[in-house]
Amino acid sequence: MNTKNIAAVAARLNMIPSDAPTSPTLSQTGDCSPDCPDCGGVGYIRHDVPVGHPKFGKLERCPKARLFVTKQSLQAGEIDPRVGLTPDELRNLSWDLVKKGVNQADRACEVTRRAYMSGHGTVFMYGGYGQGKSLVLKIAVATALNEGKRAAYANLAGVLDDIRIAYDERENKMTELVRRMEWWTSLDMLAIDELDKVGQTEWARERIFQLLDARYQRAVRQEALTVIAANYQSTDELSGYLKSRIEDNRFVANGYVIHLKGTDGRKSMPKNWKY
Ligand SMILES: Nc1ncnc2c1ncn2[C@@H]1O[C@H](COP(=O)(O)OP(=O)(O)O)[C@@H](O)[C@H]1O
Ligand SMILES: [Mg+2]
Ligand SMILES: [Zn+2]
């Protein structure tokens, strides 16, 4: 593989190759902005540290390159379909689209935005239809992706479908299952919609537990954010293990459990409203 290929593959995988090439031709083939002040376009940064320092001789991904790649792929429409948003939603959704005075979506939005800024936690919003729950979830994910984070929006049923395909079809079932679970678990931010609408087979229950528990643990370690929405009227409708995790005082104390009981926004959205 030549240097050009290595750079391209590494960039696509968003990896830091331990043996990344240092040839000057990389500056023409790197994937950061050509006038990036940090890396000069290469996409990697070498730390100027003394021999023996843990970072000595190591290349690190330029944070601006990650952003650049995301923006480019967004524009080109080349983005993992599992992120769950349309290109139009990715480009246009932003916090200020949530209208005040329609229902309580503006409060949910304010809380979610605060959690997003902190980068970790578990936010749970529940209530009837048309409360703006899905809208807020999608806005948070669009914001995260546009800021270079790894994020996805999905109905819980959709997540399960993705995982189940691995289980049903692939030869190397366990490896593929683990790989797919890992994709959802490792996201910086995961927005799970329609928690209430999933099959209750033993298999589904186990996968949901596995995923949400892994996300919960990452939230507690302050590594990742999970935002969940359900059409429930009370948190008592949650399974016991989930209720206990969602109502963890580290989240409740921040106002991360939100009951939305306003009017149905669908009844008052203007004719040309797309979201
Ligand atoms: N406060 C709000 N500001 C802007 N749009 C809203 C608001 N509340 C609801 N909507 C719109 O109403 C519709 C229903 O909202 P949605 O997010 O799907 O609700 P839910 O997921 O709670 O059922 C969507 O088109 C959404 O964009
Ligand atoms: Mg919804
Ligand atoms: Zn750069």
Write out residues in the chain with pLDDT < 70, as ranges. Answer: 1-29, 66-67, 69-71, 74-78, 167-171
Under 8 Å CB-to-CB from 118, ≥6 apart: which residues?
Answer: 225
On the CB side of 30, CA atoms within 13 Å amount to: 28
pTM assigned to the model: 0.77
Kindly give the distance from the C-alpha atom of residue 15 to the centroid of ligand 3, in angstroms, as a whole number. 14
- Ligand 1 binding site (Cβ under 6 Å of any ligand atom): 98-99, 102-103, 105-106, 129-135, 265-266, 269, 273, 275
pLDDT for the residue numbered 2? 41
pLDDT score at 170: 58
Those residues whose C-beta lies under 8 Å from the C-beta of residue 4, and which sit 6 or more positions away, are: 25, 29
Give me the phi and psi of 205, to 5 degrees please. -60, -40
Task: For residue 93, count CB atoms less than 10 angstroms from its CB and return exposed for 0-12, middle for 13-18, buried for 19 or more.
Answer: buried
Enumerate domains of the chain plus CATH numbers: 3-76 (no CATH), 82-267 (3.40.50.300)
9 Cα: distance to centroid of ligand 2 (angstroms): 37
Q: What is the pLDDT of residue 237?
A: 96
Question: Which residues crowd ion ligand 3, with CB under 5 Å?
Answer: 32, 36, 38-39, 62, 64-65
